[in-house]
Amino acid sequence: MTNANAPMKAKHQRLVLVVLAVLAIVGAGFLAAWALPKQANFFYLPEQMVENPPEIGRAVRLGGMVAPDSLNQMDDGMTVEFKVSGNTADLVNVRYTGILPDLFVEGSGVVAEGSLSDDGVFVATNLLAKHDENYVPRELEGLEQHKSADTVAGRTVGLD
């Protein structure tokens, strides 16, 4: 595949093709290895977020239990604030604007996607609650309160 006027031997052409393909795949691999740690969304438990908070504005996930009696509906009707607890007494304040997911209740598990703002509140852009009796967001499986749920996690219905 050098010069259009000088046809090369079939064997050489095959070699060039293989080299090109390997180069492209290795390139894709390097790209992934470089981009993934940067772009991946790290998961925090409340105690981890209190102890070692992520940079302000960086997209992360926060998972835990919605603390009882902490859910507070704002006047605009669309914004809620609540606290999330983990395995310790540490609490993180979360603010979310939007329709709460089905089965979002106090005392239940939630995963919030969003970022920490300057005032220390975690601003969520999306909330994932368990959406049926069997399904538990995978990040919450380590939590004490969800131990019992572990055994049924394998039964999630595949949405394929």
Partner 1 sequence: MIPEIGLAALWLAAALSVLQMVAGALSVKALPVGAETGVVSPFALYARPAAVVQAVLATLAFFALLYAFAVTDLSVKLVATNSHSEKPYLYKLTGTWGNHEGSMLLWVAVLALSGGLLAGLERRLPERTMQAALAVQGFVALGFYAFLIASSNPFERLPVPAAEGIGLNPLLQDIGLALHPPTLYVGYVGLSVAFSLAMGALITRQVTPEFARVMRPWVLGAWVFLTLGITAGSYWAYYELGWGGWWFWDPVENSSLMPWLAATALMHSVSVLAARDALRTWTIMLGVLAFSMSMLGTFLVRSGVLTSVHAFAVDPERGTFILVLLLLYIGGALGIFAWRASAVAEGKTFAVNSREGALVFNNVMLTAILAVVLLGTLYPLLTEAFDVRVSVGPPYFNPASAIFAIPMFLVMAVGPILRWKQDKAARINRELAALVAILLVALVLIGLMAETSILALLGLALSAALAIAAFLPLRGRKLGRVPMAVWGMVCAHFGVAIAIFGMASESAFTQEKLAAVSAGETAQVGDWNVTLNSVDAVAGPNWTAMEARLSVARGEGNSTILKPQSRNFWSPTQATSESALLTQWDGQLYATIGRSVGVDDSGKERWQLRVWWKPFVTFIWYGGLLIGLGGLLAMVGRIREDLRRRKGIQRRQEEAADMAELGSPTGPAMPEPAE
Contact residues for partner 1, defined by CB under 8 A? 1, 4, 7-11, 13-14, 17, 20-21, 24-25, 27-29, 31-33, 35-36, 39-43, 59, 61, 73, 76-78, 97-100, 102-103, 131-133, 138-139, 141, 150-151, 153-154, 156-160
Nearest one of 157, 84, 160 to 127, comparing CA atoms: 84
Instruction: State how far the Cα of 139 lies from the Cα of 43, in Å rounded to an integer.
Output: 7
Is the CB of 20 or the CB of 56 nearer to partner 1? 20
- Report the residue number, 7 or 120, with the smaller CB distance to partner 1: 7
SS3 call for 91: strand
Q: Least distance to partner 1 from the beta carbon of 15, Å? A: 10
Distance CA 95, CA 103 (A): 18
In the complex, the smallest distance separating the C-beta of residue 67 from partner 1, rounded to whole angstroms, is: 20
> What DSSP designation does 129 have?
E
